Chain A
């Protein structure tokens, strides 16, 4: 069966510090991968998605970047965090079922920038 891992679960970082969040998927090959951010009590904002290694699309201009060093690994990074980067970060992967893609989410990382 497929599983998705995210770490760390919580993170408190000062403004201006770097960030690295990691996501790995097991049990599937060539998944589509996603990074979302969710502000408190709000919906999901898609940050990046990737349909393959070296195929990463950025959805929102910001100081974040994403990389996919391996087929089932997706990393979210920042060189200098801003206060506005605080939020709940969710990684997801998707599989195609017919013409539809269902997404499966990791447990999330709660980031607080102080």
Chain B
């Protein structure tokens, strides 16, 4: 089964609104990463949060991590049409972190 499970599977919002995506995982981690994938393209690394961090910001992105609940959330503020993409969380539970386990992703559609 997937280590990371994103929720919701799909999200549709209006431009300017905030988008929140959640990720749950099953085992202890050292860090959790979020990636973005535009349709038909490779994934792009967005942000990494370590297990001893609770919150991290990068531009319009805010990531939180709750290790007690084994969950993370990605918030995109003031969304733009260009944010339309799939978003994946990935955890480093295997092979000393060399291997990442990706969730199934959340498809975000931002309507202009």
Contact = CB atoms under 8 A, between A and B. Distances in A.
Interface of A: 32, 41-44, 46, 49, 51, 57, 88, 90, 92, 94, 96-97, 99-108, 110
Contact of B42 (A42, A57, A100, A105): A105
Given A43-B103, A43-B104, A100-B31, A90 B43 contact: yes
Contact of A49 (B88, B99, B103, B107): B99
Nearest to A42: B104
Contacts of A104: 45
Nearest to B86: A41
B25 interface: no
Interface residue tally on B, bucketed by range: 20 to 34
Contacts, number: 63
B44 interface: yes
Given A44-B88, A49-B98, A107 B41 contact: yes
17 contacts: A32-B98, A43-B102, A44-B43, A46-B99, A46-B101, A92-B43, A96-B97, A100-B30, A100-B31, A100-B48, A100-B50, A100-B92, A103-B35, A103-B43, A105-B43, A107-B41, A107-B42
Interface of B: 2, 30-31, 33, 35, 40-45, 48, 50, 88, 90, 92, 95, 97-105, 107
Give the interface SS of chain A, mostly helix, strand, loop or mixed: strand
Given A42-B104, A43-B102, A43-B103, A102 B42 contact: no
Contact of B100 (A96, A99, A101): A101
